Amino acid sequence: MNIDTRWLVLAAVAAGAAAGAAVAMKSRRRQHRTARDLEHATDLKSWENEGGNLAPVAVAAALP
């Protein structure tokens, strides 16, 4: 193996490691987002079951 081939192998290994890290980070982010959305849905369902309603919107009188 000459030095040029060694640099090529090193670059390929580094690119593979970077791609693997990017895929792992994206997968972890998707997992956290899914867990957060599931928790939000559960909290919303619990709040709705308690009889919670939004406050009515204040209506301003129309000016003539």
Can you give the pLDDT at residue 55?
67
pTM for the structure as a whole: 0.56
Query: DSSP 3-state assignment of 61?
Result: coil
What type of residue is 18?
A: A
Can you give the pLDDT at residue 20?
97
Give the mean pLDDT per block of 10 residues along the chain (64 residues).
81 96 97 93 80 68 66
User: Per the structure block, which two tokens stand in for 9?
Assistant: 């192998």
